[in-house]
């Protein structure tokens, strides 16, 4: 889970209504049972009545209700400098922006670290390092020299580069060389903003293999399972499938499209893959119960197994596990939060759910 700042710092930010901390933590008030984003304009309680959480999901699971004034379940806007820093790194992954550079630009390195940790699960320095090594991998793969890669990645020695590369990819740089039988590729990771919060997306040449809301509690475990199943490391990086996914999701949330054309690569057990294939047959605007889904995969008695496979789906929205509801007509469960499940069904024109 994301690292929380010290209690005193969060208390000070909450009382100062500091929007720079929105998305970094959530403040819950024990006397009212409500949780807020740091910038909430409501009256502030005594420190002894405050509880702080790294995600809105944690606050919800702890029994707190979202504040109606600051709407903490809605996506928190990043400060403009986040997009600026990401764009600079993406434009030239070899760039090294140090803490001194951030201070010279009027940015607090600690605030930048926390924001990137909350947003991407990586500190800003780790994000830069991952992008440099990913760029080095891609350069070596198409025939670039390891000597050039060492220099471009900003390492002072071959040994330091080799150690960092091997730690990240599980193999030495030579394994990525053109024509090598070693490292074939890596999973590209990207973050996509949506009206329901940021999504973490991943793709290989075979298709989109991960799409999850970034505050889902099982996300880290899902990513580890994915990496182990595909046999590739995962790093921030660009990919045509991710760009197509970004555009198609924008159209989906704008109400301009209800289906997706980007390839999906969702490896699992044979039973899981049958369930996920059946999910993709549920038309937008319609729902199915777990029992109906079990019958669709040809195993009517496997309702619980179907529910487990549904919950292990790693490609949200494209593999629409949100279209499965309880046999009693209720929403059932959803890893991204029931409020998101309800909203996704509303976007698709499904019957209203309380």
Check residue 276 and give its pLDDT. 95
Q: What is the pLDDT of residues 219-232, one digit of tens each?
A: 566 667 777 778 77
Check residue 207 and give its pLDDT. 94
Of the listed ranges 92-96, 106-110, 111-115, the least confidently predicted one is: 92-96
pLDDT surpassing 60 at residue 182? no
Check residue 168 and give its pLDDT. 61
Confirm if 318 and 211 have CB atoms less than 8 A apart: yes
**pLDDT band at residue 132 under the 50/70/90 scheme:** confident
CATH 3.40.10.10 fits 7-66, yes or no: yes
- Second CATH level (architecture) for the domain 80-176: Orthogonal Bundle (1.10)
Mean pLDDT is highest, among 128-142, 202-216, 243-257, for 243-257
The full DSSP string for 58-127 is HHHHTTPEEPTTT-TTSPPPPPHHHHHHHHHHHH-TT----HHHHHHTT--HHHHHHHHHHHHSS-HHHH
What is the strand order of the sheet 34-36 is part of? Answer: 50-53, 26-29, 34-36, 65-66
Rg (CA), the chain: 22
Q: What is the pLDDT of residues 160-179, one digit of tens each?
A: 776 776 666 666 666 566 55
Range(s) of the chain covered by CATH 1.10.10.60: 80-176
What is the CATH class of 192-354? mainly alpha
The answer to whether 36 is a known catalytic residue is yes
CA angle 251, 252, 255 (to 5 degrees): 85
What interhelical angle do 109-120 and 124-141 show, nearest 10?
60
Check residue 220 and give its pLDDT. 61
> Cα separation of 35 and 22, whole Å?
12
Higher pLDDT, 334 or 149: 334
Check residue 221 and give its pLDDT. 64
Q: How far apart are the first and last CA of the chain?
A: 30
Give me the percent of the chain exceeding a pLDDT of 70: 83
Token pair listed for 82: 């986040």
> Cα separation of 226 and 238, whole Å?
18
pLDDT surpassing 60 at residue 103? yes
The mean pLDDT of the chain is: 83
**pLDDT band at residue 216 under the 50/70/90 scheme:** low
Q: What is the pLDDT of residues 250-289, one digit of tens each?
A: 999 998 988 899 999 988 899 999 999 999 999 999 999 9
The answer to whether 321 is a known catalytic residue is yes
Check residue 110 and give its pLDDT. 87
Give me the percent of the chain exceeding a pLDDT of 90: 32
Q: What is the pLDDT of residues 308-337, one digit of tens each?
A: 999 889 899 999 999 998 887 788 888 777
H or E segment and range at residue 313: none
Check residue 291 and give its pLDDT. 92
Check residue 271 and give its pLDDT. 93
Q: Is 315 helix (H, G, I), strand (E, B) or coil?
A: strand
Confirm if 117 and 265 have CB atoms less than 8 A apart: no
Range(s) of the chain covered by CATH 1.10.10.10: 192-354
Check residue 173 and give its pLDDT. 64
Residues 6+ apart with CB under 8 A from 272: 309, 312
Mean pLDDT of 236-252: 91
Catalytic pick among 40, 67, 209, 321: 321
**pLDDT band at residue 21 under the 50/70/90 scheme:** confident
Catalytic pick among 36, 40, 67, 209: 36
pLDDT surpassing 60 at residue 181? no
**pLDDT band at residue 114 under the 50/70/90 scheme:** confident
Check residue 73 and give its pLDDT. 74
Check residue 59 and give its pLDDT. 85
What interhelical angle do 124-141 and 158-169 show, nearest 10?
100
Token pair listed for 260: 């997706």
């Amino acid at each position: 889970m994301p690292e929380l700042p010290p209690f005193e710092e969060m208390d000070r930010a909450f009382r100062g209504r500091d929007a720079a901390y929105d998305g970094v933590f959530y403040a819950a008030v024990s006397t009212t049972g409500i949780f807020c984003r740091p910038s909430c304009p409501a009256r502030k309680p005594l420190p002894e009545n405050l509880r702080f959480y790294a995600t809105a999901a944690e606050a919800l699971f702890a029994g707190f209700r979202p504040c109606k004034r600051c709407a903490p379940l809605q996506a928190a806007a990043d400060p403009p400098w986040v997009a600026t820093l990401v764009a600079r790194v993406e434009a030239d992954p070899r760039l090294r922006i140090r803490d001194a550079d951030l201070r010279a630009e009027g940015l607090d390195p600690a605030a930048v670290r926390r924001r990137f940790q909350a947003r991407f699960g990586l500190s800003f320095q780790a994000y830069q390092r991952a992008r440099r090594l990913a760029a080095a991998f891609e350069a070596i793969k198409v025939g670039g020299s390891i000597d050039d890669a060492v220099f471009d990645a900003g390492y002072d020695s071959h040994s330091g580069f080799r150690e960092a590369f091997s730690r990240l990819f599980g193999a030495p740089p030579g394994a990525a060389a053109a024509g090598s039988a070693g490292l074939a590729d890596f999973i590209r990771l990207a973050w996509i903003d949506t009206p329901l919060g940021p999504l973490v997306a991943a793709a290989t040449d075979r298709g989109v293999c991960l799409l999850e809301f970034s505050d889902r509690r099982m996300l880290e475990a899902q990513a580890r399972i994915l990496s182990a199943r595909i046999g590739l490391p995962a790093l921030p990086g660009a990919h045509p499938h991710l760009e197509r996914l970004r555009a198609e999701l924008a159209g989906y949330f704008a109400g301009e499209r209800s289906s997706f054309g980007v390839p999906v690569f969702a490896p699992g057990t044979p039973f899981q893959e049958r369930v996920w294939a059946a999910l993709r047959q549920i038309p937008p605007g319609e729902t199915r119960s777990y029992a109906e889904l079990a019958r669709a995969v040809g195993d009517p008695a496997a309702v619980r197994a179907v529910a487990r496979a549904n919950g292990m789906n790693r490609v949200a929205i494209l593999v629409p596990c949100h279209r499965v509801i309880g046999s009693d007509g209720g929403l059932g469960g959803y890893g991204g939060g029931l409020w998101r499940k309800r909203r996704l069904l509303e976007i698709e024109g499904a019957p209203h759910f309380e």
